[in-house]
């Protein structure tokens, strides 16, 4: 969430940033500032009346000691009037504060100056590509057919149990999935990330903290909490519970940076996703992912973002997959992000690029919602939060199967074969 003082002090920059995103409701900026002006005015009047009430209350005691009962009773009457007035002002202040929060929740983050203006994925910048790519040629088959041929994944069985988008992994398919998870976690731990195992369910406060609410309710599965009647949500990514570990935390400067990695199941409704482009593992309602999350001092966050990019590149190089890195344009950048890099691997049988990771810097956007700060020079200020996929499993699995198919079976990259304890699927 953007800070209203930032909107006030940097209005032109904010409007330009929102235009980069093709954001239409620019009037929300003025509405936020005007609502905050009203809030400040009410707060000032409330503070003045509370101060006057406290002053009169002290005078009442002195008047009573001096025997000036009539004057004391008059003062009591005035404090009663002030009490009624301050109660009304508190009610008005509560209304304005809620109005302000609701407006701020509708404003996305401001893109970094390096982020290009653009409307869609077509406007994203390709900043790195590992290989020239081409199809496998005649006879190559997509991963959903390979999965059936080698009995690795049963999509129809998943439909029987839960519905479309919930695949069942079998035999070497399940073992390969587990090997990839362990490899990703080990790579992250080697880079200094502490592994955590978070809940797969979040409350509303956690959803608001990282920006899934109120922006992405339709993408999450809701579940009832019969104990408290509070709505809970299945996590769309481990980023959400891991980042929320630090909600309402005030760090000492020496405690930063914080580096976490976590494996989790991820659940997304993906409403309206149909067609050939979502066949097989291309888009699922339940999938596995390993995440990296960082809490950083603001002056370090963009160097750290580049460090995270290099880390993901190293993982993809170990997987021996052709990949490319894109910096997203304003219109394709997520609601809470200031800058995002996407990683795509080449699907040789489908002859298209598949997104497998996003690495983002949210600057103070999440931290402001989370009230996550650190102390420096006796003052507290907001941290910067970053996260990335290291890695998302389904499309990695799809690319590994498709790109490594041969007449003799599917040959695994050396690094993964070591973890899977087999080097070929046949």
**426 residues of the chain, pLDDT tens digit each:** 999 999 999 999 999 999 999 999 999 999 999 999 999 999 999 999 999 998 888 888 887 777 777 887 788 888 889 999 999 999 999 999 999 999 999 999 999 999 999 999 999 999 999 988 887 777 889 999 999 999 999 999 999 999 999 999 999 999 999 999 999 999 999 999 999 999 999 999 999 999 999 877 788 999 987 777 888 999 999 999 999 999 999 999 999 999 999 999 999 997 545 555 678 999 999 999 999 999 999 999 999 999 999 999 999 999 999 999 999 999 999 999 999 999 999 998 898 999 999 999 999 999 999 999 999 999 999 999 999 999 999 999 999 999 999 999 999 999 999 999 999 999
Tokens of 421: 């304890």
Tell which residue, 136, 264, 260, has the closest CA to residue 202: 264
Q: What is the pLDDT of residue 339?
A: 98
Tokens of 171: 């035999």
Where in the chain are the domains? 4-105, 121-425
Q: Which residues pair with 326 in a beta bridge?
A: 126, 342
Contact between residue 159 and residue 281 where contact means Cβ atoms under 8 Å apart? no
Contact between residue 235 and residue 299 where contact means Cβ atoms under 8 Å apart? no
The stretches of 356-422 forming alpha helices (DSSP H) are 365-370, 393-403, 414-420
The stretches of 66-141 forming alpha helices (DSSP H) are 69-105
Longest dimension (CA), the chain: 106
Compute the distance between CA of residue 8 and CA of residue 231 in angstroms, rounded to an integer: 35
What CATH architecture is 4-105? Orthogonal Bundle (1.10)
Fold of the CATH domain 121-425:
BirA Bifunctional Protein; domain 2 (3.30.930)
Compute the distance between CA of residue 30 and CA of residue 40 in angstroms, rounded to an integer: 15
Compute the distance between CA of residue 345 and CA of residue 403 in angstroms, rounded to an integer: 10
Helix 27-65 with 69-105: angle, nearest 10 deg: 160
Compute the distance between CA of residue 187 and CA of residue 189 in angstroms, rounded to an integer: 6
Q: What is the pLDDT of residue 77?
A: 85
pTM: 0.92
Dihedral, CA of residue 94, residue 99, residue 103 and residue 105, to nearest 10: 50
Q: How far is CA 113 from the centre of its chain?
A: 20
Contacts 24+ apart (CB under 8 A), 255-258: 255/374, 256/295, 256/296, 256/297, 256/374, 256/383, 257/294, 257/295, 257/296, 257/297, 257/300, 257/304, 258/293, 258/294, 258/295
Tell which residue, 234, 206, 199, has the closest CA to residue 220: 234
Q: What is the pLDDT of residue 68?
A: 79
């Amino acid at each position: 969430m953007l800070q209203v003082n930032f909107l006030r002090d940097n209005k032109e920059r904010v409007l330009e940033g929102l235009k980069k995103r093709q954001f239409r409701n620019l009037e929300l900026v003025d509405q936020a500032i005007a609502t905050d002006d009203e809030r400040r005015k009410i707060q000032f009047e409330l503070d003045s009346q509370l101060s006057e009430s406290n002053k009169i209350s002290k005078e009442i005691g002195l008047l009573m000691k001096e025997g000036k009962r009539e004057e004391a009773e008059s003062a009591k009457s005035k404090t009663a009037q002030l009490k009624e007035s301050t109660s009304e002002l508190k009610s008005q202040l509560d209304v304005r504060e809620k109005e302000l929060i609701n407006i701020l929740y509708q404003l996305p983050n401001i893109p970094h100056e390096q982020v290009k203006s653009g409307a869609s994925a077509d406007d994203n910048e390709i900043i790195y590509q590992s290989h020239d790519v081409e199809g496998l040629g005649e006879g190559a088959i997509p991963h959903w057919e390979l999965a059936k041929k080698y009995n690795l994944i049963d999509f129809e069985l998943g439909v029987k149990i839960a519905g479309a988008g919930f695949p069942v992994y079998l035999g070497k398919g399940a073992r390969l999935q587990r090997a990839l998870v362990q490899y990703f976690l080990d790579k992250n731990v080697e880079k200094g990330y502490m592994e955590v195992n978070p809940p797969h369910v979040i409350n509303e406060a956690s959803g608001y903290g990282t920006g899934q609410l109120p922006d992405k309710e339709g993408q999450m599965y809701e579940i009832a909490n019969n104990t408290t009647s509070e709505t809970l949500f299945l996590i769309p990514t481990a980023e959400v519970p891991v980042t929320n570990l630090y909600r309402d935390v005030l760090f000492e400067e020496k405690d930063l940076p914080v580096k976490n990695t976590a494996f989790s199941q991820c659940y997304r409704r993906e409403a309206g996703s149909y067609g050939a482009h979502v066949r097989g593992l291309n888009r699922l309602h339940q999938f596995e992912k390993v995440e990296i999350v960082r809490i950083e001092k603001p002056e370090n966050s963009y160097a750290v973002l580049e460090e995270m990019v290099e880390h993901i590149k190293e993982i993809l190089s170990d997987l021996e997959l052709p990949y490319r890195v894109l910096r997203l344009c304003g219109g394709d950048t997520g609601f809470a992000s200031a800058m995002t890099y996407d990683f795509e691997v080449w699907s040789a049988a489908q002859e298209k690029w598949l997104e497998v990771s996003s690495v983002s810097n949210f600057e103070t956007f999440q931290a402001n919602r989370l009230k996550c700060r650190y102390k420096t020079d006796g003052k507290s200020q907001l941290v910067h939060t970053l996260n990335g996929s290291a890695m998302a499993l389904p499309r990695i699995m799809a690319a590994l199967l498709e790109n490594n198919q041969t007449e003799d079976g599917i040959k695994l990259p050396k690094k993964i074969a070591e973890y899977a304890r087999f080097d070929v699927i046949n």
